[in-house]
Structure 1
Amino acid sequence: MDRDKYENYTRHTEKIALIRFEDVTAGEEYLDSENLEKFRIVVDYMFSVGAPVHIAWIPKFVDPPNGIDNDISKDYSMSNANFLFTIEYLLKRNGVIGLQGYTHQYGKEVSAEGTEFNKERNNDEKNVRKRG
């Protein structure tokens, strides 16, 4: 598919599926340039068949045990630039972004690996407001 010649897509079937990628964040596998290129290839394919792509985005990746606090609004590294390029790429192909949670983690857990809310954690308004 020639990336410079996109036209408005049309559905090729009567049935359509939505693909949702969970826990997309500038950390771990999503900082690898090869993985980001593969992700863009999937986005291209989905766009070509008229199927929407949704990502559940985590803006800030933290990994306290390894001292990682990657805020893409403050760290202008090449890997973060490639990640942001991929997010923009998705948007230009009718992708949708939903906010998964600013860090999507609890305490000293790694982003996207722990549980933020359950019967023991952040289970009342006072605790939730305290985090904000």
Structure 2
Amino acid sequence: MMAMLIAGIALLAGCGSDVGPSVDKVRLDLLDRMNQMYGGLLETHDFEIDERQVLSEDRVKFHIVASFKLDPERAQQVRSSHSKTIRQQFALRKAGTLQGKDERATLIYKRTGQGAWQIYNVQQGYQ
């Protein structure tokens, strides 16, 4: 009985709360989004949630500030690759401009029918 209670608490902690996802989930989702956009060239250097606002029972808005650094190994792989694509070249140039800067973004999460939180919208800056 006690094991089931502990497992239930752990499950709730991993899924976030009823007012939105956990800070760790937001951080991981942001890194996943950046990896998709920049081909794994960026690592999270700093991450902070400035504001968390409940919009409704199934939507939560976050204002975040994050800074990133270039993954030196991955960047070198792209630079030395003979088969690099235009997309990889663009991603490398763009990732270089983000390095070390504080980037502000607004993330809106929506709760799915299964109760999980997923990113619904991402906007640059605070909206």
Alignment TM class, shorter chain as reference? under 0.3
Higher strand share: 2
Give the alignment's TM-score, normalised by structure 2: 0.23
Give the alignment's TM-score, normalised by structure 1: 0.23
